[in-house]
């Protein structure tokens, strides 16, 4: 009934969370990179992300312990992915290079991304160095009301993506969920 696949492919079955742009600011230099290995850890603004020391953003995040998680709409998917093709090490200003506009955040040094649906300002509360897992606490969150309904992007591995499709509303069926107000 089932056909065995390689466990090397298994992460793609679990992966499809939102594609997120992680912004940092180190030594007065703004940077951003797309990440898909990210998850909420509770019914609150606590997130875990996995990165690696080959990324400029990882070092900046470790040093400054501050970042922004920005949610791009699917209309700018190529721009978002292009930020994953180059490193902040190689360019003066990746925002400019990839056509993004940085905005001053409220409480963190990392910039918000003007083109995104929403931005979450975060502080690192734990760094699990063995795996470069960063645990983040969201301290401020912003949404662009004009993009509230924009379709988001989900990375499903190997250079392929899915954009939001049909919404299935099971609010009245999920009796154990906390009563959170819609965005």
Residue of this chain nearest to ligand FMN (CB atom) = 84
CB of 2 to ligand FMN, least distance (A): 28
> Hunting for tokens 């083109």 — which residue is that?
115
Closest CB to ligand FMN among 160 and 179? Answer: 160
Closest CB to ligand FMN among 23 and 119? Answer: 23
**3 state DSSP class of 136:** strand
Closest CB to ligand FMN among 89 and 126? Answer: 89
127 contact partners, CB below 8 Å, separation of at least 6: 62, 133, 134, 135
Closest CB to ligand FMN among 48 and 143? Answer: 48
Distance CA 134, CA 49 (A): 5
Distance CA 70, CA 87 (A): 18
CB of 170 to ligand FMN, least distance (A): 28
CB of 40 to ligand FMN, least distance (A): 15
Distance CA 139, CA 121 (A): 6
CB of 3 to ligand FMN, least distance (A): 27
Q: Which residues bind ligand FMN (CB under 6 A)?
A: 19, 31, 33-37, 50-52, 55-57, 81, 84, 86-89, 94, 155
What single-letter DSSP state applies at residue 174?
-
């Amino acid at each position: 009934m089932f056909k065995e696949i390689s466990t090397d492919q298994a992460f793609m079955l679990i992966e499809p969370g939102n594609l997120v742009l992680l912004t940092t600011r180190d030594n007065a230099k703004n940077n951003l990179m797309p990440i898909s290995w990210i998850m909420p850890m509770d019914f609150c603004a606590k997130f875990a992300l996995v990165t690696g020391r080959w990324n400029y953003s990882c070092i900046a995040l470790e040093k400054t312990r501050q970042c922004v998680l920005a949610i791009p709409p699917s209309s700018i998917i190529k721009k978002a992915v292009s930020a994953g093709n180059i490193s902040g090490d190689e360019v003066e200003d990746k925002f400019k290079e990839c056509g993004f506009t940085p905005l001053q955040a409220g409480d963190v040094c990392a910039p918000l991304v003007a083109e995104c649906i929403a931005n979450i300002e975060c502080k690192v509360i734990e760094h699990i160095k063995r795996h470069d897992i960063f645990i983040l606490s969201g301290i401020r969150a912003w949404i662009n009301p004009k993009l509230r309904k924009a379709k988001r992007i989900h990375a499903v591995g190997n250079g392929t993506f899915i954009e939001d499709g049909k919404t299935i509303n099971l609010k009245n069926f999920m009796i154990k969920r906390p009563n959170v107000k819609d965005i």
